[in-house]
Amino acid sequence: MAMDKLKHIIRETLDVFNLEKEGQNLAKAAHLVPWLLWRIWKNRNELISKGKEYNAQEVLTKAMEDQEEWERREAEANGPRCPPNPPARETREAVKWKKPPQGWVKCNTDGAWSKEGNRWGIGWVLRDNQGKVLWVGARALPRTRTVMEMETEALRWAVLFMSRLNYQNIIFESDAQELIKLLNSGEGWPHLDPQLQDIRSLLPNFNEVKFVFSSREGDKAADRVARESSSLENYDPKVYSIMPNWLKSIVELDMEM
């Protein structure tokens, strides 16, 4: 019976979607497809677990709301990374990179992009509780992803590498605030779900993990690595066990008291 109801919801939803296409731009309607599928999947789970039903118009409305929310988050991610012209001394002291507690390591991740060019860069920097750089990862990506997907890939790659190195207590820090919210809330988004699922599947390999937001000013080393990555000649990942010379000045500034 539940499956019959689910099939009915899907048919109704697709009928409404076809009507939408007749009255709106086809390209705009096509962008709604992932959100409809995402919402149908969520409603299928609620129907099976809670017996809760939604009609086609409700499904369509929620899918459009999901799309609008994603576009808002993308716009925020593409916007200014910090307030314009902040007082230099005050901002630098307020958001300076902080050492992790004793027994912990901290991994900062970031992505770099520009309006020109066909590639983006992602990077991460792992440091101990004394601020010593342990590992650095740099990698270029083809420019086929959204900003949020790029930031998520930077974090996913870092989590994967840290799990292989067997670190147990680790803080992952990123300036992608919406991404950190998703990870801490357990929520998902259609375009990010494969990456988020990969991240979450790796968490049992650690003893304790924290996902923390940091402004760009507190994440300068990872930002420098990401910008360097965007200029790499190929898409092969590069991992350094010795800090590269081009990163030393940024790390030294972080260590100043």
Q: For the whole model, what pTM was predicted?
A: 0.67
* Weakest-pLDDT range from 22-26, 172-176, 192-196, 216-220: 22-26
pLDDT of residue 230: 86
The answer to whether residue 7 scores a pLDDT higher than 80 is no
* Domain termination site, one of 48, 78, 108: 78
Q: What is the pLDDT of residues 75-88, one digit of tens each?
A: 555 554 444 444 44
Dist CA 95 CA 90 (whole Å): 9
> Is 216's pLDDT higher than 90?
no
pLDDT at 67 over 50: yes
State whether 104 and 53 are in the same domain: no
Tokens of 42: 């969520």
Higher pLDDT pick, 2 / 165 = 165
* 137 part of a folded domain: yes
Are 107 and 33 found together in one domain?
A: no
Q: Phi-psi bin for 139: left (phi > 0), alpha (psi -120 to 50), beta?
A: beta
- Clarify whether residues 70 and 8 are in a common domain: yes
Q: 241 and 150 in one domain? A: yes
Query: Of 18, 51, 78, which marks where a domain is finished?
Result: 78
Task: Provide the residue range defining the domain that includes 43.
Answer: 2-78
CATH code for the domain of 221: 3.30.420.10
Residue 32 lies in a domain: yes
Is there a single domain that holds both residue 195 and residue 148?
yes
Q: Strands 208-213, 169-174: parallel, antiparallel or unpaired by DSSP?
A: parallel
Residue 242 pLDDT grade (very low, low, confident, very high; cuts 50, 70, 90): very high
**27 & 66 share domain:** yes
Average of per-residue pLDDT across 170-199: 90
